[in-house]
Structure 1
Amino acid sequence: MEPYSKAIARFLLDLSFEAIPPEVIEKTKLLLLDTMGNALAASTMDFGQMVLEVASVLGGPQESRLIGTAGKRAAANAVLANGTLAHGLDYDDTLEEAIVHTGCSGAITALAVGEQLGATGRRVLEATVAGIEVMCKVGLVAPGKFHARGFHPTALCATFGAAAACGKLYGLEPAEWLNAFGICGSQSSGIIEYLSDGSWTKRLHPGWAAHAGVIAVLLAQRGFRGPATVFEGPHGFYRSFAGENGFRLEQLSELGKTWEISRIAFKSYPCGSISHPYMDCALRLREKHSIRGDQIEEIVCRTAEGPVHRLWEPLKEKQHPSSSYGAKFSLPYSIAVMLVRGRAGLEEFSDEAIRDTEVLAIAEKVGYELDATIDYPRHFSGHVKVKLKNGTVLEENQPYPRGGLEFPLPPQEIEEKF
């Protein structure tokens, strides 16, 4: 049996702009717009300024724009900064089930390398599709398993997506593709310990992955060798990061047959995507019932077990997030801010907002119960039940997040995010 890296290489070699369905091209354009909006917004913020400064120091030829500046640096260094910017607000796209953010690696790399090579817009779109589709399929092989072992799926899968986007523009040969992906397997990394204190390493993950993907392509072009069995081998990517078994490796052979870009969800709120349907439920309860904090006895939400260690526990910390970035991964806070303010934009995840005593008083009343019937991570669903002090019970459910295939955001709403 041929290695799976060869199946991916064949997809990339055969992929042409004309073979991509028109609806996928249109969705990719929106994704590029959303990605650039995220990056530009983040370029004005403290973490954005830091990573842009580091990319400037790293230097290299004037190949690719550092987003939000007049400067250019080597493409590999530009994507380090730009990928971090595009993901840093946690306002960027997500593919359910794989739980990966895609534009911050695939689109960012296609834009930077396309600029470096003077590629046409059609070629940049083609490379963006290549990178995102590969990244998504790599993630879909082991849904939920990376998070369960303490890894960030975007950080792991984005390296392959960035290499696919970069290599498509460079026109890699078949053997070079195998080596590039083999090299990617040894550069994939990214743990989720940031959850313990709300620190910033998650922001860096796609930028670092994009940097590694470009480096993998440059090395492969020069004959540097990587293992062809990087995906399925006994010491390969999946066994190392996802455990011993249960992988759907056949997903990698589905490239070009099913298009994952069609299923990617755009975010309505700048926080963890699993929180969004819960926040929509809280907003509807607020709009329908005008609930006040002093009326609430308790709030209970049903959840699958998978997200608990990221969005619910430790519960006291989630009810009182110690940092504005940590608040993005707190369901008690996110639900409370919707009930109090009726919105959740960038301002609601600021250092000032997380000290709002009215919001925190409600967050203290938010808890959860496990529901084994929730089909996570295939779908991100939401449920909020509010018990009032007078005994009234108010409840809302939402089976899908807004912004995905089942509940798409209007293009105008995506344009207005920033």
Structure 2
Amino acid sequence: MSERTAVQRFARFAAGCRDLGLPERVADDVSGRFLDVIGNCLAGRAEGGPGRAVLDTVRDWGGTPQSGLIGECDRLPAPQAALVNGTLAHTLDFDDTHLPSVLHPSASVVPAALAVAEETGASGARLLAAVAAGIEICNRLGMASYLPSIRNSLFFEKGQHATSICGTLGAAAAAALLYGLDEDGVADAMGVAASMGAGILEANRTGGTVKRIHCGWAAHAGVTAAALARAGITGPPTVLEGRFGFFRAWLDGTCDTEAMLGGLGERWETVRTVYKPYPSNHFTHPAIDCALRLRADGLDPADIASVELGLPLPTLRTVAEPRAEKVRPRTAYHAKFSGPFTVATALIGGGGLGVHLDDFTEETLADERRLELAAKVECVADERASEIFPAAFAAVLRVRTTGGALLEHRVDSSRGGPGHPLSRAELLVKFRLNAARGLSAGQVDKLAAAVEGLADAPDVRGLFP
């Protein structure tokens, strides 16, 4: 095979991140992603639920203590630690999003890389390089599945969770770098991981907690694949583009090779990954922005007769359907995937950067005032928002008051998105709010300082006690 295959090109790129170093802007960007994931994990730990269930399960498995658990004192084998931390990173749906692939890369890659870095005693610089490589690979695999003709990822059209499927390969590449594997070894790790990625999205529509462990499983599978490659298990060189490879198996052979590999190492999709200011499905964010603006302009929820929420057509199945489930969500987590409920929440509640974790609890779920307002929200496809999607998330909110007035606000790029990125100061506010749910103020300060100094740390073990 004279020309390098796709996985071999990814492996060469990844090895270069580790061996040649990162551009300064990429290294700085990745430290922010690390900060975001740690904060999300601490908030997820305080929430309990699936994170606690996964932790209890893997503690029963036992094994050699290798890697730390965020917010806990004990250590577990690296794959199990990655499973716990990855679950916590995604459990609140507060993790970053890449566009137009619409996947959450950091929640699987960062926990996988951290687990192996602690197992091997890697430096902070090596950890950041591994995370950058893993996120970039994850994003580009997602981009390869985007179809301009339907303005959506084919993964999502098929009900597949691109985050966990692509995240498994990104996590494997990051872990392989930290295990010290060469280009061939990184390619093998990804080749093995391609047989391990999975995830379906029905829980977004009708409930269930399984989606909240998807990033944990991707991190776990990525670390396991890299460890197996280190032990001698090999993967097929044509694992991505082959007749029975990744894209044929998942996407009927659909693959935008230019989006996947063009400008690799020069055009960084990692730095285009956007942060979430609100702990809900990213499709709801422009609607929240609109509601917060109308509220700031003086709209009284008691004066609302009806609400029309215009969204991109491909997002309606996630945040608007089935309607009965969206206007009266079954669980606080399910409410995060409801256009009507999040609009009502933004109009009535709102903490943190506008809407925060305390707006999604069993108490707010039973708040009849919110539910009555949610029932007034009709979700429709908006042509302009559909045209913009998924390069950015757009929406329009039209409110008819009891006095007959029509109020309208439109956003073409949600807060935190490409047109309105969160500043480092805003990201730090988000981190502090999240971390404070499990740590004292002094501990939060020390943790933030540790992340800021990560690039200079000679050994990450013990950096996050």
Q: TM-score, normalised by structure 2?
A: 0.86
Unaligned runs of 5+ residues in structure 2 are 147-152, 435-465
Q: Is the 8 A contact 1:63 1:72 kept in 2?
A: yes
Say whether 1:346 aligns with 2:348.
Answer: no
Q: Is the 8 A contact 1:272 1:329 kept in 2?
A: yes
CA distance in 2: counterparts of 1:74 and 1:89, whole angstroms? 24
User: In the alignment, residue 363 of structure 2 is paired with which amino acid?
Assistant: E
Give 1:168's aligned residue.
177
Structure 1 segment 18-417 matched on structure 2, within 5 A: 19-44=21-46, 45-143=48-146, 144-245=153-254, 247-253=255-261, 254-293=263-302, 295-343=303-351, 344-373=355-384, 374=386, 375-417=388-430
- Runs of 4+ in structure 1 deviating by more than 6 angstroms, as ranges, are none
Q: Is the 8 A contact 1:92 1:103 kept in 2?
A: yes
Q: Is the 8 A contact 1:59 1:77 kept in 2?
A: no
Q: Is the 8 A contact 2:38 2:89 kept in 1?
A: yes
Question: Per-residue deviation at 1:190?
Answer: 0.4
Question: Per-residue deviation at 1:367?
Answer: 1.2
More divergent stretch after superposition (13-22 vs 383-392): 13-22
1:63-102 Cα offsets, whole Å, 9 max, x none, are 1001111110110110011100011011111112111112
CA distance in 2: counterparts of 1:17 and 1:270, whole angstroms? 36
Give 2:15's aligned residue.
13
- For residues 277 and 18 of structure 1, do their structure 2 counterparts lie closer, same or farther at Cα, with a shift above 3 Å needed? farther
CA distance in 2: counterparts of 1:250 and 1:58, whole angstroms? 43
- Aligned-CA RMSD value: 1.6
Question: Per-residue deviation at 1:187?
Answer: 0.7
Q: Is the 8 A contact 1:282 1:384 kept in 2?
A: yes
1:345-402 Cα offsets, whole Å, 9 max, x none, are 1111111111111111111111122234423222211211112233211111111122
Q: Is the 8 A contact 1:286 1:342 kept in 2?
A: no
Question: Per-residue deviation at 1:244?
Answer: 4.2
User: In the alignment, residue 157 of structure 1 is paired with which amino acid?
Assistant: C
Question: Per-residue deviation at 1:55?
Answer: 2.0
Q: Is the 8 A contact 1:197 1:323 kept in 2?
A: no
Unaligned runs of 5+ residues in structure 1 are none
- For residues 393 and 269 of structure 1, do their structure 2 counterparts lie closer, same or farther at Cα, with a shift above 3 Å needed? same
1:128-165 Cα offsets, whole Å, 9 max, x none, are 11111111111111132111101111111110110111
User: In the alignment, residue 143 of structure 2 is paired with which amino acid?
Assistant: L
User: In the alignment, residue 350 of structure 1 is paired with which amino acid?
Assistant: T
Give 2:460's aligned residue.
none
CA distance in 2: counterparts of 1:401 and 1:21, whole angstroms? 28
Question: Per-residue deviation at 1:46?
Answer: 2.8
Task: Count residues in correspondence.
Answer: 416
Q: Is the 8 A contact 1:145 1:243 kept in 2?
A: no
More divergent stretch after superposition (227-236 vs 136-145): 227-236
CA distance in 1: counterparts of 2:337 and 2:233, whole angstroms? 40
Q: Is the 8 A contact 1:7 1:252 kept in 2?
A: no
Q: Is the 8 A contact 1:52 1:66 kept in 2?
A: no
More divergent stretch after superposition (352-361 vs 190-199): 190-199
